[in-house]
Amino acid sequence: VVGESRRKEEYLCFAEHFCACYSFFYDIVNKGEQLSCKHQLAARLAASTGTCVDVKVSDEELALLLAKL
């Protein structure tokens, strides 16, 4: 899942394991206060309601997405 912030920053989000947003690192990884960020919850909700769209990307496109992390 590719998420977007109010500041129009894009980041990568894996619903079960990882999100590149600030909240994930601060509240979940660093402080351990939450189980997931709102982006992970949104991704899980989209998957469970069937509104998630799978997009196939090439190896090069995936490398560019991961390089932004």
Range(s) of the domain holding residue 7: 2-67
Is the pLDDT score of 49 beyond 90?
yes
**What pLDDT is attached to residue 29?**
86
The CB-side HSE value for 24 (13 A sphere, CA atoms) comes to: 20
| 3, 10 contact by CB (below 8 A) | yes
**What pLDDT is attached to residue 10?**
74
pLDDT category at 2 given cuts 50, 70, 90 is: low
Q: Specify the 3-state DSSP secondary structure of 57.
A: coil
Domains held by the chain: number: 1
Q: Give the list of residues 6+ apart from residue 4 with CB closer than 8 angstroms, or none.
A: 10, 11
**What pLDDT is attached to residue 23?**
86
Entry pTM: 0.68
